[in-house]
Amino acid sequence: MSANIIKYRKAFDTSQTLLDITGTDEFPLDFDVLFSKKKGAQILVSSLKDYNTWISSKNLQKWVPLFIADAKCFYYSDRDTYMIIYNECRPEARIRFSLAHELGHIVLEHLNDERTELSRGGVDDPTYYAMEGAANTFAGNLLAPPILIDDFLSGSKFDVERISTRFNISPSATKAYRAEDYKYWKSLTPSKHEKAILKRCHSALHKHICIDCGATFEIEGSLFCPICGASSSSLYYRGKDSVDVIYPGVELNKSGQAKQCVQCKNEEHLEKSTYCMICGKTIVNQCTYAIANNVPCEYNPCSHDEPLPGNARFCPYCGSETTFLKDGVLRPWDAPQKPRLFAALDSEEDDSPLPF
């Protein structure tokens, strides 16, 4: 019952169409928002514990507590209402996949007949496995659309841990339902619905918050915090309504050079120059590993020698120090700051103040 775009192309297309027509603009997917925007029959969601509590309160004579391994969907034809019940004891990522799986049964119209639930007893084996395979394909591509995975990876290799964290799906589901689908998807031409999803989600897809220093930043393909150098395990993806925490740095021009040399205040720079032509101070922030191969780095070699943000202390791609940090243009993010009064007095004696 593995996911397979080739075999269940309709399920894949349906998942992308649903994301587009509901205006989904943020991942990990918010099911409450998705269900509220989906047109058609009402969809109710309940934990297994809450459902059993509700049923038991009705004092039914032949009531037996319901047991569900992961999730199950019921259809009440007289009310045109679906109810998805999930086992709250499962891990969050598994619950999310189960909800998407059951939604797949609904959207793919697996329940629109005399049966009020999908079970092995109601259909023959070939039909059952076909429905389950389609629902799995729908769920995997709903939770992590391949066009967003591709944009998120920004040319890097398929990374189970990064994708699992970014889209809040389990590593096992990422391996089983995303890796092969993504590999095949690379040979396809994105549909108009997929392009619309990417257009809405591109910016938010690359926004991070660092747990260690609290910095918020938006750098495609980043694996490290540019402020404190924390690895991807300390980064998580912020919602569109979260508050920005921006560490000040050096203001840059369109070429990525410091608008004003921090040492001599010179504002005239030669095109493509990386040092001040007056005092020789560094004016372009770059990865030290990328511009000097002999710089030690415990991670993979970095080829990102393009200008980095003016407040970056570390390369967001390999974690090496930046030239601004190494050359003293920027202080370490956690360096104690002087009181404003004394900082002002120091600036009169020393004409090379360091920006924070």
pLDDT of residue 342: 45
User: Hey, what are 262's tokens?
Assistant: 């921090």
Instruction: Tell me the whole-structure pTM to 2 decimals.
Output: 0.71
> Sign (positive/negative) of CA torsion 233, 239, 243, 249?
positive
pLDDT beyond 60 at 353:
no
Percent of the chain past pLDDT 90, that is, above it, reads 53
User: Hey, what are 352's tokens?
Assistant: 């090379």
- Determine whether 62 is exposed, middle or buried from the number of CB atoms within 10 Å of its CB (0-12, 13-18, 19+): exposed
Q: Confidence class of residue 70 from pLDDT cuts 50, 70 and 90?
A: very high
Mean pLDDT of 90-114: 89
Strand order in the sheet with 216-218: 216-218, 207-210, 235-237
Report residue 269: phi and psi, to 5°.
-125, 145
* Mean pLDDT estimate for the chain: 85
pLDDT of residue 243: 64
pLDDT of residue 242: 60
DSSP H helices in the chain: 9-21, 31-37, 48-56, 92-107, 125-143, 146-153, 160-167, 171-173, 180-185, 192-205, 288-291, 323-326, 340-349
pLDDT of residue 345: 46
Residue of higher predicted confidence among 179 and 322: 322
Question: What is d(CA 246, CA 311) in angstroms, rounded to the nearest whole number?
Answer: 9
Number of Cβ within a 10 Å radius of residue 22:
15
Report residue 294: phi and psi, to 5°.
-90, 5
Q: Confidence class of residue 320 from pLDDT cuts 50, 70 and 90?
A: very high
* Chain segment 7-19, per-residue pLDDT in tens: 999 999 999 999 9
